[in-house]
Structure 1
Amino acid sequence: MKLAASAAAGVTVVLWASAFVAIRHLGAELSPGPLSLARLLIGTVLLGVLLLVQRQPFRRPQARDWPLLLGCGVLWFGVYNIALNAAERRLDAGTSAMLVHIAPLLVAVLAGLTLGEGFPRPLVIGSLVAFGGVVLIGASTSTGQAETWGVVLCLTAALSYAIGVVTQKPLLSRLPAAQVTWMACAIGTAVCLPYAPALVREVGTASPSTLWWVFYLGAFPTALGFSTWAFALSRTSAGKMGATTYLVPLVAIVLAWLLLGETPALLAVLGGALCLVGVAISRARSRRTARATV
């Protein structure tokens, strides 16, 4: 990657990792639904401003695009955020980051089912390795006790993210990436609107530092993080950019240790490592296949 793309990718990794720490911190004062609404509302406004500044022409989505947009917005931005926020009330930030980042493996499985990419042997092996990691994470958290519901919520978030990516992929060939991101974020905001009364109540009693953390979550990991991701992705291959997301759990663990004093249990760390190894194994085949095809 060129220097500018590498810097943008690094910014994305740090911002996305910091989101896990911010969510964990904010869980003490804001419940999952209101926190999701606040984050997405701020992100939608700032992404809209970015579109205006860039002066990109707005392309009207076709009828076939709307089901994909709705799937991406409802699942990736709506369900994902609510499930992750709820999970981090039960699991530490590092464990949550490790568990959620089996999403690339789920994307590969869904692509095999829906896009005709098949199920090569490395994908099957990688799936088994990652499943072993999930079992280890489920067996232990930073408190040393099983938090089954937290693991289920993280898996729900990972699955929602994976489906969102698969539904987003066809859109990017017909609509600008920035527009797709903004519309999906706006749809996710609409999904979370029922939490508006609760958000008003909780914000009214929240501390000033909490409000600043909420703004950070919406402005930086959401609006800026997705923008730097798009910048880097437009200047390098998807495989290289995908590999950078493997660093998110590690950075999240370091940030959670520095800022929150949280350290995942040994089994959770080993489980997270197995999840990432499983993802790497499954992706190795696709990268070799891509080179052979070229």
Structure 2
Amino acid sequence: MTRSAATAIGFGAVLLWSLLALLTVGSTPTPPLLLNAICFSIGGLIGLVWTARSGGLSQLRHIPLRIYLFGTLGLFGYHALYFSALRLAPAAEAGLIAYLWPLLIVLFSSLLPGERLRMGHITGALLGFLGAALIVTGGQAGFEREAVTGYVMAFLCALTWSGYSVLSRRLGQTPTASVSVFCLATAILSGLLHLAIEDTVWPATTTGWFAVLVLGAGPVGLAFYIWDIGVKRGDIQLLGTSSYAAPLLSTLILVAFGIATPSWILAASALLITGGAGIAARASLTS
């Protein structure tokens, strides 16, 4: 596989993740942990079938337990927080806050050994957080109190995925087949916690089940495998930069389907978050 082909495959994950908010809304009223369990079961089974057909099952025995624990906590934490945020706050607003993760990845990675924080990183961070603040406050001095829990979860979601992505660099290379174990372990953990603390509510309509199945097959399934291929074999800087398109695409999709109402606050927030991340990325690419 060529470097350019791997990069193109990795970009497919960005496109799939832009559908995450839409499909999460479509899966209502399924509670977050149950949704996690269903979607990651689908994603994990897809991975196992793909791994078995490619003859890579033997690789799974040689991966250290700490890698499995780290990957499981990363996937579980991010999606449990994300699904919860979109249940407790408006989808477009919560989704944009959660999509601070590309910007945070740039900031956190600049603090790793051999890297340094540049003015572009600081400028991008300020713009991104200004966009998040604009969402939370609605352009006014206060904020929607009933949605604040969802906003906090969305921000924790961004912290979780950015921290996971940066720390994963320090764990060495692992085969893409390991993602299937991350997914299945996340499904089991989510299922157990669901039984302990949530009421079981299945999708109420055919459309709801369709959203859950597509969510598990795409943004919470295939996306992780092709992203893994992209970052390991493709141009990781180009892929990192391309991920900044996800929040803008996600918001446009929600508006197109009538889930989010177009407004100057939504537009300004999307531009601030995406633009801030782009400035931070430029600082990294030119360093």
Given that 1:100 and 1:157 are in contact with CA atoms closer than 8 Å, whether structure 2 keeps it comes out as yes
User: For 1:169 and 1:100, how far apart are their aligned partners in 2?
Assistant: 21
Given that 1:122 and 1:285 are in contact with CA atoms closer than 8 Å, whether structure 2 keeps it comes out as yes
Which position in structure 2 is the counterpart of 1:292?
A: none
Q: Amino acid of the residue matched to residue 36 of structure 2?
A: S
Give the superposition deviation at 1:233: 4.0
Which position in structure 2 is the counterpart of 1:71?
A: 70
User: Is the counterpart of residue 175 in structure 1 residue 158 in structure 2?
Assistant: no
Q: Amino acid of the residue matched to residue 108 of structure 2?
A: L
User: For 1:122 and 1:68, how far apart are their aligned partners in 2?
Assistant: 33
User: Percent of aligned pairs with the same residue?
Assistant: 21
User: For 1:264 and 1:150, how far apart are their aligned partners in 2?
Assistant: 20
Q: Return 5+ residue gaps in structure 1 as ranges.
A: 290-294
Deviations 1:14-33 (A, max 9, x none): 32111210101213x21111
Give the superposition deviation at 1:85: 0.9
User: For 2:173 and 2:230, how far apart are their aligned partners in 1?
Assistant: 20
Give the superposition deviation at 1:4: 4.9
Give the superposition deviation at 1:164: 1.3
User: For 1:284 and 1:166, how far apart are their aligned partners in 2?
Assistant: 18
Given that 2:102 and 2:244 are in contact with CA atoms closer than 8 Å, whether structure 1 keeps it comes out as no
Q: Is the partner of 1:201 in helix, strand or coil?
A: coil
Q: Amino acid of the residue matched to residue 286 of structure 2?
A: R
Q: Amino acid of the residue matched to residue 58 of structure 1?
A: Q
Deviations 1:71-120 (A, max 9, x none): 3321x311111111111123333333322221122223333445452322
TM-score by length of 2: 0.85
Alignment of 1:53-68 (within 5 A): 53-56=53-56, 57-61=58-62, 65-68=64-67
Which position in structure 2 is the counterpart of 1:255?
A: 253
- Residue 285 of structure 1: which of 280, 283, 286 is its match? 283
Alignment of 1:133-282 (within 5 A): 133-140=131-138, 146=144, 147-171=147-171, 173-176=172-175, 178-197=176-195, 201-203=200-202, 206-233=204-231, 236-282=234-280
Deviations 1:142-174 (A, max 9, x none): xx9633222211101101111111232234x43
Identify if the C-alpha distance between structure 1 residues 123 and 70 changes in structure 2 by more than 3 Å, giving closer, same or farther. same
User: Is the counterpart of residue 104 in structure 1 residue 102 in structure 2?
Assistant: yes
Which position in structure 2 is the counterpart of 1:81?
A: 79
Give the superposition deviation at 1:283: 1.7
Give the superposition deviation at 1:2: 8.0
More divergent stretch after superposition (211-220 vs 256-265)? 256-265
* Alignment size in residue pairs: 280
Q: Is the partner of 1:89 in helix, strand or coil?
A: helix
Given that 1:111 and 1:117 are in contact with CA atoms closer than 8 Å, whether structure 2 keeps it comes out as yes
Give the superposition deviation at 1:136: 0.7
Given that 2:34 and 2:194 are in contact with CA atoms closer than 8 Å, whether structure 1 keeps it comes out as yes
User: For 2:12 and 2:283, how far apart are their aligned partners in 1?
Assistant: 28
Q: Amino acid of the residue matched to residue 164 of structure 2?
A: G
TM-score by length of 1: 0.83
Q: Return 5+ residue gaps in structure 2 as ranges.
A: none
User: For 1:275 and 1:15, how far apart are their aligned partners in 2?
Assistant: 19
User: Is the counterpart of residue 8 in structure 1 residue 9 in structure 2?
Assistant: yes
Which position in structure 2 is the counterpart of 1:23?
A: 24
